Amino acid sequence: MTVDYATRPVEPLAAIAPALPEPERGETVFDIRDLTARYGSNTAIRGVSMEIYRNLVTAVIGPSGCGKSTFIRCLNRMNDLIPGFAAEGEVLYHEVDLLGGNVDPVAVRRRIGMVFQRPNPFPKSIYDNIAFGLRVLGLKDSLDDRVEHALKRAALWDEVKHRLKASALSLSGGQQQRLCIARAIAVEPDVVLLDEPASSLDPIATSSIEDLMHELKRDYSFVIVTHNMQQAARVADMTAFFSLSQADENGHRSGILVEYDATQKMFTAPSDKRTEDYVTGRFG
Amino acid sequence: MTLTTPLRRRLVNLAMQAIAVAAAFAAVAVLAIMVISVARRGGGAINLDLFTKLPHPFSFTPVKSGLANAFVGTAVIVGVATLMALPIGVLTAIYLNEFAPRRVAFLIALALDVLNGVPAIVVGIFVFALIVVSHGQSGLAGSFALAILMIPLIARATQETLALVPESTREASLALGVSRWRTTLSIVLPQTIGGIVTGTTLAVARVAGETAPLLFTSSLVGDQLHADPRQALASVPLKIFEYSESPDPADHRQAWAAALVLIAFILLASTVARLLAARSRRKLGITR
C-alpha cells in the first residue's frame, strides 16, 4: 500500500503525549551504571546511566549513529558476537551485573529476548519457528498449546492457524515481524528488546505492532529503539534521548544519554535544550 | 562532426571479439574431441559384460570378459573415502566459518588451498610411507589417500555456502538463548545441505579418476571379485593404465570403454552438482 506522506496529517507530538498517564515506576529491571561501549578504538556510547522499570515500555530515541542499537544490544550481550567489542561499567539486571565475567550470555538471552530491525524468521515452517526455541529450551510439554498461545498473543493466530506448516517466508513483512515477536515471547522471557522493529514495515503493520506492545506490557518489560518520535510518543511510558557528544580533542564523537524521563514530559516539557530541539524537529 | 565509429576501432573490436570467441570454442572443442574419440574407440565395448564379468587372461578364442572387479573396487574405495572426508570436510568448514578467529580462519583457508594444490602422486607417496610400508596395500589405504584429496574440496564448498547464510538468522537463534553449537546444527547447517551435497559430488567426480594415489596404495590385485577394503582392491583408472600397456587389442577396447564410463560419470556428476548448487542458491536467495 502507498501512503501519501505529503498530505497525511501529522499528529502534533504534544497532542498525543499528554494522553498517556504518568507511568508508575515499579520494580527496577535494569540498573545501568556508567556504561561505556567500544568497537576497537571507536567509542560508540559513553557513560550511560539509567534505570529501566518492569512492565513499562521504554523507548530509546535519537539521531542515527548515536549508539541506540549498541545500547540495547548491551542489555542481552548480543554485542559479544562482534569482534573488537568491549563494554565497561555495570548493567545490573535484577542486581546481577550482566557484564560480569562469570555471566553466561546464553543464559542472559533466555531471559532477555530480542526482536530485530528486519524480520528474520527461520527458513522453517511457521509452527517450527515458534517450536524451535521451546524445544531447545526444554519447554516441550504441550508444545502445540504453547505455539498457539504465543501466536495468539502476537495477534497472528487467526491469520496463520490454517497453514502452520507453511514456510514462514511466505508471510508478509508485518506478519513475519509479528511471528518474530511470537517467537521471542513463546520462551517466556522477562524482557523483550526491540531494535527498530517497525522500520521496514508499512504504517498498518507498524500500528499492529504498537498495539501488541500495549497489550503485552502487562506481562513483559519492553525496551524499544526507534528513530520515529511519533512511535515513541505512542507506545512508550519512558523515553531516553541519546545524542552525539561534542567532538573530543581527536575529533571523535560518541553517543551519550542526554535526557531520560517519562515520555509525556520528554515531549511536552523537556528539561534539556537538546531534547527540545530534537523532539520539535529542529535537529536530527 | 561525425559520430560513426572509426574503421580502425571497429576492426580492433571485431578482432578481439573473434579471438575471445575462438578461445572459448577451443576450450569446449578439446573436451568434445576427447569425448568423441574415447566414445569411438570404447563405445563398441560397452555392454553388460563390461560391468558383470571378470577380466579373463589372453586367449585366441573370444571369451566374455569385463571389469566388474574394477568397478566394484572403485565404488568401494571412493565410497569409503567419502565417508572419511565428508565429516572432516564439513566440520572444518563449520569451524572455519562459524567459530575460528579471523586470523586462524585465514590460515586454515590457506592450508586448504595448499592441500588442494598438492599433486595426487605426492599424496600417494605420503600414504605409502605412512600406511602401506607397515601395513601393506589395502583399499582403505587407497581411500585414505583419496580422502586427503577430497577434504579441501568439500570444506571449501561447504564454507562458501555457510558464508551465504544471513547473519540475521544466526542472531535470531542466539537471541532466543540457544547456544552457538545448537544454532549451527539446527539453524545454519540445514540451510547448507545443498552446498555440502554439491561439494561432495564434485569431489567424488574429481577423485574417481585418480590413478597415482592408488598406484601406491591399492594396485597389487588379482582378477577376482571382492569388496573387502581391508585388502587391495582393483580400480577403474588403474585397470585403464594396465590395459593400455597390454598387447591384446581386446584389452585396449576395454580400456577405452572404461575411460568412457569414467568420463560419462564425471560429466553426469558435475552436471548434477551444478544443478544442485543452483537450486540451493535459489533457496538461500529467498531467505535473504
Whether residues B114 and B184 share a domain: the answer is: yes
Question: What's the CATH number where B226 sits?
Answer: 1.10.3720.10
Report pLDDT for B34.
Answer: 93
Tell me, yes or no, whether B26 lies in a domain: yes
Helices (H), A6-104: 13-16, 68-74
pLDDT band at A248 (very low <50, low <70, confident <90, very high): confident
Q: Is B93 helix (H, G, I), strand (E, B) or coil?
A: helix
For residue A7, pLDDT over 60 is answered with no
The pLDDT of residue B287 is 42
pLDDT of B60 strictly over 80: no
The pLDDT value recorded for residue A141 is 84
Task: For residues A57 and A209, give the distance between their C-alpha atoms in angstroms, rounded to a whole number.
Answer: 13
Residue with cell 521451546: A134
Backbone CA torsion sign across A79, A81, A86, A91: positive
The mean-pLDDT minimum among A20-24, A104-108, A152-156, B181-185 falls in A20-24
What value does the mean pLDDT of chain B take?
89
- Both B72 and B41 in one domain: the answer is no
Give the integer Cα–Cα distance in Å for B251 and B241: 11
Digit-coded pLDDT (tens) for B199-240: 999 899 999 999 999 999 998 888 888 888 888 898 999 999
Q: Which residues are CB-contacts of B10 (< 8 A; sequence separation ≥ 6)? A: none
With bands split at pLDDT 50, 70 and 90, how would you rate the model's confidence at A8?
A: very low
- Give the per-residue pLDDT at A20: 57
Which residues are within 8 A (CB) of B169 and not within 5 positions of it... i.e. 6 or more apart?
A120, A122, A123, B187, B188, B191, B287
d(Cα B190, Cα B147) in Å, to the nearest integer?
24
Helix or strand or coil: residue A21?
Answer: coil
How much is the average pLDDT of A96-117? 92
CB B228 within 8 A of CB B139: yes
Quote the ipTM score. 0.85
Give the chain A residue whose CA is nearest to the CA of B173.
A133
Instruction: Say yes or no: B73 and B40 in one domain.
Output: no
pLDDT tens-digit series, residues B23-50? 999 999 999 999 999 999 888 888 888 8
How many CA atoms lie less than 13 Å away from B163 in the CB half-sphere? Answer: 10
Which strands make up the sheet holding A96-97, listed edge to edge?
Answer: A96-97, A85-93, A28-39, A42-53, A255-262, A238-244, A57-61, A221-225, A191-195, A112-115
Instruction: Give the pLDDT score at A206.
Output: 87
Are B123 and B213 within 8 A, CB to CB? Answer: yes
Of chain A, the percentage scoring pLDDT greater than 90 comes to 55
- Does residue B52 lie in a domain region? no
Cα distance from N-terminal residue to C-terminal residue, chain B = 51
What is the pLDDT averaged over residues A125-150?
A: 92
Residue B276 is predicted with a pLDDT of 82
Residue A122: pLDDT band by 50, 70, 90 thresholds? Answer: very high
B41 in any annotated domain: yes
Query: Which whole-number Å values give the CA distances from A214 to A51, A75, A146, A234, B51, in the listed order?
Result: 20, 21, 21, 9, 73
Is pLDDT at A6 greater than 70 in this prediction? no
Task: Chain B: give the shortest CA distance to residue A44, in Å.
Answer: 20
In chain A, residues with a C-beta closer than 8 Å to the C-beta of B190 are 123
Query: In this structure, are B140 and B190 located in the same domain?
Result: yes
Q: How far apart are CA B117 and CA B124, in angstroms?
A: 14
Full 3-state SS string of B160-197: HHHHHCCHHHHHHHHCCCCCHHHHHHHHHHHHHHHHHH
- Which stretch of A62-76, A242-256, B119-133 has the lowest confidence by average pLDDT? A242-256
pLDDT digits (tens, 9 = 90+) for A199-210: 888 888 888 888
A49-82 burial: b if 16+ Cβ within 10 Å, else e: ebebbbbbbbbbbbeeebbbbbbbbbbbbbbeee
Q: Is B176 on the interface with A (CB under 8 A)?
A: yes
Parallel, antiparallel, or unpaired: how do β-strands A238-244 and A255-262 relate? antiparallel
Residue of B97, B102, B161, B176 for testing the chain A interface, max A β-carbons within 10 Å: B176
pLDDT digits (tens, 9 = 90+) for B113-172: 999 999 999 999 999 999 999 998 999 999 999 999 999 999 999 999 999 899 999 999
Q: Give the pLDDT score at A5.
A: 46
Same-domain status, B106 and B243: yes
For A106, which residue in chain B has the nearest alpha carbon? B177
Question: Taking 60 as the threshold, does the pLDDT of residue A197 lie above it?
Answer: yes
Same-domain pairing of B81 and B36: no
- A208-224 pLDDT per residue, tens: 888 888 888 888 999 99
Q: List the single residue in B168, B171, B177 with the smallest CB-CB distance to A106.
A: B177
Mean predicted confidence (pLDDT) in B6-10: 88
pLDDT at B162: 93
Which residue in B266, B219, B260 sits closest to B238, CA to CA?
Answer: B219
Mean of all residue pLDDT scores within chain A: 87
Q: How far is Cα A148 from Cα A131, in angstroms, rounded to an integer?
A: 10
Task: Indicate whether B61 belongs to any domain.
Answer: no
Judge: A136–B169 Cβ closer than 8 Å, yes or no.
no
Which of A2-11, A100-109, A151-160, B188-197 is predicted least confidently?
A2-11
Residue B32: the pLDDT is 94
Query: How many CB atoms within 10 Å of residue A238?
Result: 24
Residue B15 counted as domain residue: yes
Residue range A139-144: average pLDDT?
87
**CA dist., res. A95 & res. A152, Å (int):** 33
Domain assignment present for residue B56? The answer is no
The three-point CA angle A69-A75-A76 to 5° equals 100
Residues contacting residue B5 through CB under 8 Å, at least 6 positions apart: B13
Sign of CA dihedral A137, A139, A143, A147: negative
Residue closest to B137 by CA, chosen among B215, B222, B236, B67:
B215
CA–CA distance, B288 with B275 (Å, rounded to integer): 20
> Domain range spanning residue B213?
68-286
Please say if the pLDDT value at position B285 is more than 70: no
Chain A residues with CB-CB distance to B under 8 A?
Answer: 76, 78, 81, 83, 106-111, 113-114, 116, 118, 120-123, 132-133, 136-137, 169, 180, 183-184, 187
Same domain assignment for residues B218 and B107:
yes
Say which residue the cell 530534537 belongs to: A278
DSSP strand pairing (A221-225 vs A191-195): parallel
The total number of structural domains that make up chain B: 2
**Same domain membership, residue B30 and residue B120:** no
Mean pLDDT of B12-28: 95
- Kindly determine whether residue A132 and residue B287, on different chains, have CB atoms separated by under 8 Å: no
Residues B40 and B152 in one domain: no
A36 pLDDT above the threshold of 70: yes
Instruction: Map out the domains of chain A with their CATH numbers.
Output: 27-118+192-279 (3.40.50.300)
- Res A23: pLDDT: 76
Out of A116, A132, A187, whose CB is closest to B171? A116
Are B176 and A187 a contacting pair at CB < 8 A? yes
Other beta carbons within 10 Å of A145: 9
Residues B225, B154 share a domain:
yes
* Residue B106: inside a domain: yes
Does residue B158 lie within any of the structural domains? Answer: yes
Do B97 and B198 share a domain, yes or no?
yes
Quickly tell me which residue has 597415482 as its cell: B212
Per-residue pLDDT averaged across A263-283, rounded?
86
Cβ-Cβ contacts under 8 Å for B84 (sequence gap 6 or more)? B143, B144, B147
**Any chain A CB within 8 A of the CB of B282?**
no
**Which comes out higher in pLDDT, residue A140 or A49?**
A49
Rounded distance between C-alpha atoms, residue A55 and residue A65, angstroms: 28
Mean pLDDT of B5-30: 92
Same domain flag for B11 and B128? no
